[in-house]
Amino acid sequence: MKILRTGKQGKHFRYIDIVKFLGQDDVNGRRQLIPITEGELKGEDLNGNPIHGVCLPGGVDSQVIRPNGICELSARYGAPVILLYNRGQGLIG
């Protein structure tokens, strides 16, 4: 298990499990899932109010790393009151 630290609006810690490789080909690239076992979020909402949350186990980062190096990410994880869904892409390497 390792820890990732991400987030621009505050501190966002996610504890992740072993990467699960789903497959790879020359057209679509590499597909993998990274289970989220727990985590914590501290920061501010859009109005500047402090927020603090704990990620529940069972979330997942879903990644597709395209042959051109672009990584498409879809992350789903929840806290007792909210469900977070992040999506984005960027260049690997």
pTM of the model: 0.64
Q: Which CATH number fits domain 2-34+45-72+83-91: 3.40.50.10320, 3.90.1300.10, 2.40.160.20, 3.90.1150.10?
A: 2.40.160.20
Overall average pLDDT of the 37-55 stretch: 78
**53-89 residue pLDDT tens:** 787 888 888 899 999 989 888 887 776 666 666 677 7
Classify burial at 64, counting beta carbons within 10 Å of its beta carbon; exposed 0-12, middle 13-18, buried 19 or more.
middle
